[in-house]
Structure formats: C-alpha cells, structure tokens
Structure 1
Amino acid sequence: MTTKSNKGLILIFITVFTLPVILAKLALDNNWFTQAATNKGELLQPSLDMSNLVSEQDPKKWKLLYILPSQCDVSCENAIYSLTQLHSALGKEQDRAESVVIALADSDVKAINAMANNKHIRVLNSNQQSVNQVFKQVTTNGIFIADTLNNIILRYPTQTDPQEAVLHSRDILSDMRKVLKLSRIG
C-alpha cells in the first residue's frame, strides 16, 4: 500500500469516529430534539417548602394537595372529586399517601362542610400569610404533589370540564405511582 492510501484510510477512520460525537454535541447545544420528561405535571424548581403549613406530628406521607378558594366553582369541585378518586385509585399504596385540602379563613364553608364526611380527604386549616410564604411566585390554583419531607414538587392545573378533569387525574395518578414506586420513604 502506498502512503497516500494509508493517509486516506486514517482520515476516513478518524471521520467515522469523530463525526457522530460532533453531531451529538451540536444536537444537544442547539436543542434539536425534545428532551425526555417522564412527569406529566409541571415540575416546580426549586420545590416549595410547605413545612410551615403542617405540624411536625403529621405522618410522613406523600400528599396530594389542594388549596380551597373562597368560592368553590366547577374547577374546585372537580379538583376535590379528583383528590377523592386519586386516593382510591392508589390501591395498596393508599397508606403511603393522603389527600389534603388547605382551608383558609375565607374558603368556601359549604365545600369544607361537604368534605367533613369524606374519609379520603384531610382538611387542614391555615392562614393566608402562611400560604403566601409557601407559594410566593406560584399560583395556588391547582393540585400539587408534595413529598414526605413537605416539599411541593409538581403542579397540575385545575379543569372546568369534567372529562378534562378525569384525563388530568390520570396524569396525576401516573406521576403519583411513579414517585411512590421510586420512593422508599412514606
């Protein structure tokens, strides 16, 4: 073999191995593809610390959280219904999670009374100042997932259409099952 053909062969060899690396680097830098996300809710970064809303004696459980507004409209009713159904849908994992509705001084009294007989939802009384400390730059209109260390990590918007609420409940259930599967705590 001649020196020219050896140089050409070496050049082809180097190109075959370096071209994919260069293309991969360009694809990552320029966001040429959507990066994988396994959660269906909005990931809150940084997570919100809700320790001031709960007592230290509360059980270390995963929480499905909803803040009750002053007027419980259709989206509020759908959210409360979803919390009840989600807790039931967790099946054998029910004891590791709880549904919590935070009631404020101006929250809808009829909705609070309606939840009093619901064994799947715990009503937690709090004040607006404590809620504002937790949800500084995040809207409270939604269903949230909080971990066992009281960090709110995911948010799901509430829905006015009952069918959309059911579809979003499936997303919440999917994410809740994932975190319970991956977590050994709670």
Structure 2
Amino acid sequence: MNNKKSILLLALVFVVPVILAKLALELDWFNKGATNKGQLLDPVLDMSPLYPADSAPTIWRVVYIMPAQCEQRCQNALYSINQVWLALGRENERVSPVIITTASSDQSAIQQLESMPNLTLFSTNQQSIDRVFKDTATDGIFVVDTLQNIILRYDLQQEQQQAVMHSREILADVKKLLKLSRIG
C-alpha cells in the first residue's frame, strides 16, 4: 500500500506542473513576453517585388516610403533612419537605410536627402507599393530582413524629441536582430 502511494505521489509531482502549464498557455494566465519595440507584422509582407533581382539579398534594411507631402513626421522619419544607421557603428555595413520614392513623392524632400549620403534612394511605382503592402498602412518605418520580408513596423512621430526616443527603440530592435542573425 505504501508503494502505491509513493508511485501516485511521484506521478502527481510530474503530471500536475505539466497540466498547470498547459492551462496557463491555453487560458492566457500570463503576459507573453515580447522584447521587440516595433509592431510585429503577422503575416510578414514580401518586399521582393519592389527590388531588382540583382540587389544584395543578404543585407538588412530600414525602409521608409516617401509620401507626396513630406511634413514634420516625414522629416522626423528621415532623421531617425539616418541616426539609427549612424548609431550602428561598425555594424552599419550590415544594414541599408532605404527611402522608397514614387513619381508622386515630395521632390523637394528628395533633393534634401543629398545631405544624408547614407540613405539609399529607390524609385518604384505606386502599384508595386500597393501590391506589397495590401492592407497595411505605408506611413511608418519598416525593418526588412535579409529574405526581403517586412517584419517590423514603427509609427511616425510628430515631435522631434519623440522621434529621437523612437529611434532608440528602432536601434535596439535592429541591434538585437543583427546579434541573432548569422547572415546580413
């Protein structure tokens, strides 16, 4: 009789935690940990239709789509992308800051980008952008992985101080991705 109690007690010690863990997962008894600061896109968006086939596939990208009118939020986004790239230091060769323009993009803002030679300009048409982004808003800063999947989105900031703080969040996520990635 003592043997049966010992075996039953031993089984309970191993089975009860498994059952509690299963219930905790299914009933959301805890907050799932997330370390990314940006909005994780689910499902990810395939950005490969926007790039030519000969573009470097093994590089991370921080992307912004230039709107028709580049107001303060747009200026802050351009500043943030440039600052993130500069802050990466020796890791910046693994990341390319890309500004995607269309025929309707603000031409005066594009000319101002000459003062930021680190930013890569890429021109495409609005139909390609609409095909890639479908139901996702294009007014944000995006992180694109080495397989040309858009994985993270960051909102634009109206105030420059907020944009600087937001740049730190983008930088933290990009650094974490670079640390975890063996390619790019």
The residue correspondences of 1:66-105 to structure 2 (distance < 5 A) are: 66-105=64-103
1:129-164, CA deviations, whole angstroms, 9 ceiling, x for partnerless residues? 000010001100100011122111111111112222
| Structure-2 residue corresponding to 1:14 | 11
Are residue 130 (structure 1) and residue 128 (structure 2) matched? yes
Are residue 184 (structure 1) and residue 182 (structure 2) matched? yes
The offset of 1:8, in angstroms, is: 4.6
Question: Could you say if the C-alpha distance between residues 9 and 58 of structure 1 is closer, same or farther in structure 2, counting changes exceeding 3 Å?
Answer: closer
Residue segments in structure 2 that go unaligned for 5+ positions in a row: none
User: Is the partner of 2:43 in helix, strand or coil?
Assistant: strand
- Could you tell me which of 147, 150, 175 is aligned with 2:148? 150
State how far apart, in whole Å, the 2-side matches of 1:21 and 1:148 are: 38
| Structure-2 residue corresponding to 1:110 | 108
- Could you tell me which of 5, 8, 26 is aligned with 1:29? 26
Question: Could you say if the C-alpha distance between residues 13 and 67 of structure 1 is closer, same or farther in structure 2, counting changes exceeding 3 Å?
Answer: same
State how far apart, in whole Å, the 2-side matches of 1:124 and 1:116 are: 14
User: Is the partner of 2:45 in helix, strand or coil?
Assistant: strand
- Could you tell me which of 39, 48, 58 is aligned with 2:45? 48
Residue segments in structure 1 that go unaligned for 5+ positions in a row: none
| Structure-2 residue corresponding to 1:38 | 35
RMSD (Å), alpha carbons: 1.6
TM-score (norm 2): 0.92
| Structure-2 residue corresponding to 1:161 | 159
Q: Which moved more, 1:7-16 or 1:81-90?
A: 7-16
The offset of 1:173, in angstroms, is: 0.6
Counting aligned pairs with the same residue, the percent is 50
Paired letter, 1:177: K
Aligned residue-pair number: 183
Paired letter, 1:74: Q
Question: Could you say if the C-alpha distance between residues 161 and 10 of structure 1 is closer, same or farther in structure 2, counting changes exceeding 3 Å?
Answer: same
User: Is the partner of 1:43 in helix, strand or coil?
Assistant: strand
